[in-house]
């Protein structure tokens, strides 16, 4: 894990937005993750990786799903990786990507209201 990805985890881990105000650092890191996954191609890439058998996908498995050039796909994967949403591992000439569940858990947890478990009458 890179230093940058570690900073994303640290900034997001502890402050649900619906329960208490975010710090400036937390809101910056959270916005970066939302911006990364808020683009349709990147959201679809994330979905393809997460749903791929074994939970990881080779870039060669992903490129065929889009009518985009290889460099464009690589750019979108780079944005997802730099935001801490996915991580990649080089194996020979290919890079295999997998979702970083801790980042998705942190992002989703900030949106859960404090009373999400409570039943209203």
| DSSP code string of 23-91 | PHHHHHHHHHHHHHHTSHHHHHHHHHHHHSGGGEEEHHHHHTTSSS-HHHHHHHHHHHHHTTSEEEEEE
Query: 45-94: per-residue pLDDT in tens?
Result: 999 999 999 999 998 888 888 999 989 999 999 999 999 999 999 999 99
- Cα–Cα dist 13/97, whole Å: 22
- Cα–Cα dist 32/66, whole Å: 24
Mean pLDDT over each residue of the chain, to the nearest integer? 83
Q: Residue 121 pLDDT > 50, yes or no?
A: no
The verdict on pTM exceeding 0.85 is no
């Amino acid at each position: 894990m890179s230093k940058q990805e570690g900073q994303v985890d640290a900034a997001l881990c502890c402050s649900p937005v619906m329960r208490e105000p975010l710090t400036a650092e937390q809101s910056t890191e959270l916005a970066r993750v939302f911006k990364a996954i808020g683009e349709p191609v990147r959201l679809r890439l994330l979905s393809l990786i997460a749903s791929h058998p074994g939970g990881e996908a080779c870039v060669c498995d992903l490129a065929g799903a889009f009518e985009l050039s290889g460099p464009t796909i690589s750019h979108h994967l780079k944005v997802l990786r730099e935001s801490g949403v996915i991580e990649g591992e080089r194996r020979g000439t290919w890079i295999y990507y997998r979702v970083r569940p801790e980042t998705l858990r942190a992002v989703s947890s900030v949106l859960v209201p404090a009373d999400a478990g409570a039943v209203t009458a």
